């Protein structure tokens, strides 16, 4: 089984006409059992836009060495097929930075659900990462001083939260017109995901 976007099992028939990302999530490294050739085949699907979520999570029960191994394998596949990578990171930023460092100038790497400090945000951006943020990050700042060309916005898995609510708050925090912000983020998407 491979994980699609937010941990949904991949069904080949269902996604032949939709865009998707596919990744080996750190919570689920124990279920892969050396099926990387099958995973690589799915990464090559024309509608696969990115690899992820993948990454490191020091809080989950999965073996940390396995997490590191599969993160590295997925970064290598992303480089081979020139796909962006969407990173899940919990209490492992130093390790993620170290593992991703050789890839950052070659493929886009996006920190999913980023909700840490401004200092860490700037450090990650300066190293070449992109950040995808949502309401928790936006809500704890009066003003955000991050480059828009390195940002994405998300609702994550919060069904009650609309992306328009996220954009509205982001436009206030960045002091940008909402339509201008949407255009800038769409430009980021088109550049990174080649769509």
Q: Which domains does the chain have, with CATH numbers?
A: 1-96 (3.20.20.140), 108-195 (no CATH)
pTM: 0.89
User: Tell me: the pLDDT tens digits for 72-97?
Assistant: 999 999 999 999 999 999 999 999 99
User: Tell me: the pLDDT tens digits for 96-105?
Assistant: 999 999 999 9
Q: Which neighbouring-strand residues pair with 109?
A: 85
For residues 88 and 110, what is the distance between their CA atoms, to the nearest angstrom?
9
Mean pLDDT of all residues in 178-191: 96
For residues 83 and 91, what is the distance between their CA atoms, to the nearest angstrom?
25
Kindly tell me if the per-residue pLDDT of 41 is higher than 60: yes
131 and 112 in contact (C-beta within 8 Å)?
Answer: no
Query: For residue 156, what pLDDT band results from cuts at 50, 70 and 90?
Result: confident
Q: Check residue 5 and give its pLDDT.
A: 43
Q: Check residue 17 and give its pLDDT.
A: 66
Q: Check residue 3 and give its pLDDT.
A: 46
The region, left, alpha or beta by phi > 0 then psi within -120 to 50, assigned to residue 166 is: alpha
DSSP state, residue 152: E
């Amino acid at each position: 089984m491979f994980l699609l976007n937010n941990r949904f099992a991949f069904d080949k028939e269902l996604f032949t006409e939709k865009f998707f990302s596919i990744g080996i999530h750190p919570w689920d490294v124990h279920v892969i059992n050396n099926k990387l050739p099958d995973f690589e085949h799915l990464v090559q699907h024309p509608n696969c836009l990115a690899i992820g979520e993948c990454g490191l999570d020091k809080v989950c029960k999965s073996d940390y060495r396995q997490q590191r191994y599969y993160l590295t394998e997925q970064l290598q596949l992303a480089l081979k097929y020139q796909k962006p990578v969407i990173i899940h990171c919990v209490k492992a930023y130093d390790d993620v930075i170290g593992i991703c460092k050789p890839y950052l100038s070659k493929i886009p790497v996006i920190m999913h659900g980023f909700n840490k400090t401004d200092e860490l945000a700037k450090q990650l951006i300066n190293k070449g990462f992109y950040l995808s943020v949502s309401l928790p990050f936006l809500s704890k700042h009066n003003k955000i001083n991050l480059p828009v060309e390195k940002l994405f916005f998300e609702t994550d898995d919060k069904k009650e939260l609309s992306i328009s609510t996220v954009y509205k708050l982001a436009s206030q925090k960045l002091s940008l017109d909402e339509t201008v912000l949407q255009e800038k983020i769409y430009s980021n998407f088109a550049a990174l995901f080649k769509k």
